[in-house]
Structures are given as structure tokens and as C-alpha cells.
């Protein structure tokens, strides 16, 4: 079993839809949870950065962490064609390396 699991997709949604992206993990030591977006031929770009359980909102993006279930989610409201990219979850324990999920490819259709 991989440390971090993520549905690879591809996920295709119409413009304006709410998108839900999810990751599960096995290491209970993880305390820091991140979401990155990666466009083709570019490096990943940090979207959300949360510590421990709870919700965090930033514009159209909401990150949720449920440590009891070892499950994290990223919600995108009012999705736009410019949101078409690969979304990577990432997580780490204190002072440890950051582990990335395999990524979910998202296409938002105009």
C-alpha cells in the first residue's frame, strides 16, 4: 500500500461545477497537508497549506482534513477552464520529507 493514494482520473467537469478531489493516507504521523496544482510543462504550484484537522478556505478553494479517517479533500467552486491541470496532494510529519500523491488530472470543459 502506498503512503498516499489519490484517484488519478482523468476527471472531466463542465464549467461552473463544484469539483471534489481526494486523497487518503496511511501514516498517522502526517500533520501538514498541502495541495499543489501543476500545469503541463511547469513545476507544481502551492494552492493550500493546512496543519492538522479542519477546513481552510481561500477564494474558490476549500481544503478539508480529517485526520481520524486519514482523508483530505480539495473543493473547487465555480470551476473555470483555467483550473484544468493536475492536482497533487502532499503531506508531511514534523521535520520530515514531504510525500506527494500521484495526482489527479482535471479538465474543465467550457
Partner 1 sequence: KAGVTQTPRYLIKTRGQQVTLSCSPISGHRSVSWYQQTPGQGLQFLFEYFSETQRNKGNFPGRFSGRQFSNSRSEMNVSTLELGDSALYLCASSLGVGDYGYTFGSGTRLTVV
Q: How far is CA 57 from CA 8, 26, 48, 82, 97, in A?
A: 24, 25, 8, 19, 25
Site for partner 1, rule CB under 8 A: 32, 34, 36, 41-46, 49, 88, 90, 92, 94-103
Q: Please, what is the minimum distance in Å from the beta carbon of residue 45 to partner 1? A: 7
Q: Please, what is the minimum distance in Å from the beta carbon of residue 91 to partner 1? A: 9
Distance CA 1, CA 7 (A): 14
Comparison of 32 and 75: residue with beta carbon closer to partner 1: 32
Comparison of 72 and 79: residue with beta carbon closer to partner 1: 72
What length is written for the chain? Answer: 110
Amino acid at each position: 500500500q502506498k503512503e498516499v493514494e489519490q484517484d488519478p482520473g482523468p476527471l472531466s467537469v463542465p464549467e461552473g461545477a463544484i469539483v471534489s478531489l481526494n486523497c487518503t493516507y496511511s501514516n498517522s504521523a502526517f500533520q501538514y497537508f498541502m495541495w499543489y496544482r501543476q500545469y503541463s510543462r511547469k513545476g507544481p504550484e502551492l494552492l493550500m497549506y493546512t496543519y492538522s484537522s479542519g477546513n481552510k478556505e481561500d477564494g474558490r478553494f476549500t481544503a478539508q482534513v480529517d485526520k481520524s479517517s486519514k482523508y483530505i479533500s480539495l473543493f473547487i467552486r465555480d470551476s473555470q477552464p483555467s483550473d484544468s491541470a493536475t492536482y497533487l496532494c502532499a503531506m508531511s510529519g514534523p521535520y520530515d520529507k514531504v510525500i506527494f500523491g500521484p495526482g489527479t488530472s482535471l479538465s474543465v470543459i467550457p
